[in-house]
Amino acid sequence: MRVTASAPAKVILFGEHFVVYGEPALVMAVERRVYVSTEPRTDCKIYIRADGIGASGYYSGEALRTFEAEMGGREAQDRLQPIKVVIEHALRLSKKKVGLNVIVKSAIPVAAGLGSSAAVAVATAAAVGRVLGLELSREEVYQIAYEAEKVIHGTPSGIDPAISTYGGTLIYRRGEGVKPLTLEVEVPLVIGNTGLSRSTGDLVARVRRLKDRYPSIVEPILSVGGKIVAEAIMALKAGDLEALGNLMDINHGLLSAVGVSSGPLERLVYAARRAGALGAKLTGAGGGGCMVALTATGDLDKVARAIEEAGGETLTATRAKEGVRIEEQR
């Protein structure tokens, strides 16, 4: 049997950084998917190949502790570790001793704040689970991916595997977990990648320093961030994309105020606005990484071109209504 599962990327529409201080965030799955194909092997090895991160190799032996890199050299093992953790988890659940080939193909840029690694974990859990005959529920797929994220990242919010699993739009608030938001409206987005790497941890620390030094200024900014999410939910429910765009612009200004924007991000943001985007903001940690522009459907290409002319790599995407799914089984 050979199974292919896919899971979508995510984009934070509102609330990055402010979410650390208890404000809500609004996260949307977008139609850019990771595809994970898997099939049993005749031996007991686990072969993983992920071209997007330039790594492949074989795990074998007692508790799969032996690793032999095929591509990616000495770093391959580290890069493949999150995928291996998911596979091991599924193998444990299945109580089977079987080898697997696991091939990851991704249309999601890596390390750009688009949830690529969570999407890989979710699609891997679904594909491997199916091949092993586990009949996992969505909730179980989510749990396996989330547990793997915990092993790798410490204390992640869990929002990335949730959005890749369930798709659609989710409201997240620290301590309250995720809540789905049912929507009918199409949300045409252009994502622009500055291509500049940044450290999420450094940027989170920068906001905290500013808040600790100027609490009477920064705290109300954070709370305005929460009000923006509330307004954005109303705008989305009403299908009012113009309002949604205005709110993205305001949110971007607040992120600039707390020090997480940058020259390259502003260049892409203003290029998108000038080309007629309804709104544009940085998305994710900021510093470098990605921005996201909301456009009228007919303007997607024009806005994407403007962002490219300003030096960004783009992907256009609409809301992914579906989360993880089995694409093929034969």
Q: Which residues bind its own copies (CB under 8 A)?
A: 210, 213-214, 216-218, 220-221, 223-224, 227-228, 231, 243, 246-247, 249-259, 261-263, 266-267, 270-271, 274
Nearer to its own copies, 29 or 207 (CB): 207
Closest separation between CB of residue 23 and its own copies, Å?
Answer: 13
Nearer to its own copies, 151 or 243 (CB): 243
Q: How far apart are CA 169 and CA 78, in angstroms?
A: 31
Which structure tokens are listed for 288? 């470098």
Closest separation between CB of residue 328 and its own copies, Å?
Answer: 45
Nearer to its own copies, 130 or 273 (CB): 273
Which structure tokens are listed for 162? 């949730």
Q: What residues have CB less than 8 Å from 302, skipping those under 6 apart?
A: 275, 276, 295
Cα dihedral across residues 180, 244, 26, 110: positive or negative: positive
Nearer to its own copies, 100 or 260 (CB): 260
**What values do phi and psi take at 114, rounded to 5?**
-105, 10
- Is 299 designated active site? no
Output Rg (C-alpha) for the chain, integer angstroms.
Answer: 20
Which structure tokens are listed for 123? 């699609």
Closest separation between CB of residue 246 and its own copies, Å?
Answer: 7
Closest separation between CB of residue 166 and its own copies, Å?
Answer: 28
Nearer to its own copies, 93 or 224 (CB): 224
Closest separation between CB of residue 107 and its own copies, Å?
Answer: 30
Which structure tokens are listed for 221? 């900014």
**What values do phi and psi take at 183, rounded to 5?**
-135, 150
How many C-beta neighbours within 10 Å does residue 280 have? 30
**Identified catalytic residue from 43, 51, 78, 160:** 160
Which structure tokens are listed for 246? 């205005």
Cα-based torsion angle of the residue sequence 301, 302, 306, 307 in order, rounded to the nearest 10 degrees: -30
Q: Is residue 114 within 8 Å of 192, Cβ to Cβ?
A: no
Render the burial of 164-185: b for 16+ CB within 10 Å, e for the rest: bbbbbbbbbbeeeebeebebee
Closest separation between CB of residue 25 and its own copies, Å?
Answer: 16
Q: How far apart are CA 324 and CA 166, in angstroms?
A: 7
Bridge pairing between strands 25-41 and 99-106:
antiparallel
Nearer to its own copies, 74 or 213 (CB): 213
Q: Which are the catalytic amino acids?
A: 160
